[in-house]
Amino acid sequence: MLRVNQTEMERKLWGALRAKRLAGLKFARQRPVGPYIADFLCADARLIVELDGDQHGGDGAIRDARRTAVLETFGYRVIRFWNFEVQDNFDGVLEGILVAAKESDRRLPSILAYERREKSGAVRNGDAS
């Protein structure tokens, strides 16, 4: 079910993913995939990013594993981060997302172009324009 209100950590991550802010990757939030709603989805990289809070421990972990298995049958790679990781290691989370996107079966031209601009010094202070 679509949620109207995002959690604080979802808002923080969405701020970095929206409008192609992360290496030109186009993400959407709360997109249906099969019977589930993906937190964040990059269709080009066939990547789903899920944020997990306290409710995902215990029995929630079993449900998450089942959910991940179903999402993968639709051809997506699913990566998960805990909310505390977004809060305490935001740059590491963004790097993890970039690495996962690069490892996608189809290398994305936008990531390759971003890497070339970054190596040439054209990318400064997170501005990939």
* Segment among 29-43, 68-82, 110-124 with least mean pLDDT: 110-124
Q: What is the pLDDT of residue 39?
A: 96
The more confident residue out of 91 and 110 is: 91
* Residue-wise pLDDT tens digits, 80-106: 999 999 999 999 999 999 999 998 755
- Provide the token pair at 24: 């030109």
Q: What is the pLDDT of residue 125?
A: 47
Residues 125 and 56: their CA atoms lie apart, in Å, by 34
> Could you say which architecture CATH assigns to the domain 8-120?
3-Layer(aba) Sandwich (3.40)
* Residue-wise pLDDT tens digits, 38-95: 999 999 999 999 999 876 456 778 899 999 999 999 999 999 999 999 999 999 999 9
Whether 93 contacts 82, CB under 8 Å: no
Q: What is the pLDDT of residue 128?
A: 44
Cβ atoms < 10 Å from Cβ of 71: 20
Residues 77 and 101: their CA atoms lie apart, in Å, by 9
Residues 55 and 123: their CA atoms lie apart, in Å, by 38
Residues 111 and 68: their CA atoms lie apart, in Å, by 25
Residues 128 and 75: their CA atoms lie apart, in Å, by 28
E strand or H helix at 111: helix 109-120
In the predicted structure, residue 108 carries a pLDDT above the cut 90: no
This model's pTM is above 0.95? no
DSSP single-letter state for residue 53: -
Give 44's contacts (C-beta < 8 A, 6+ positions apart): 25, 26, 106, 108, 110
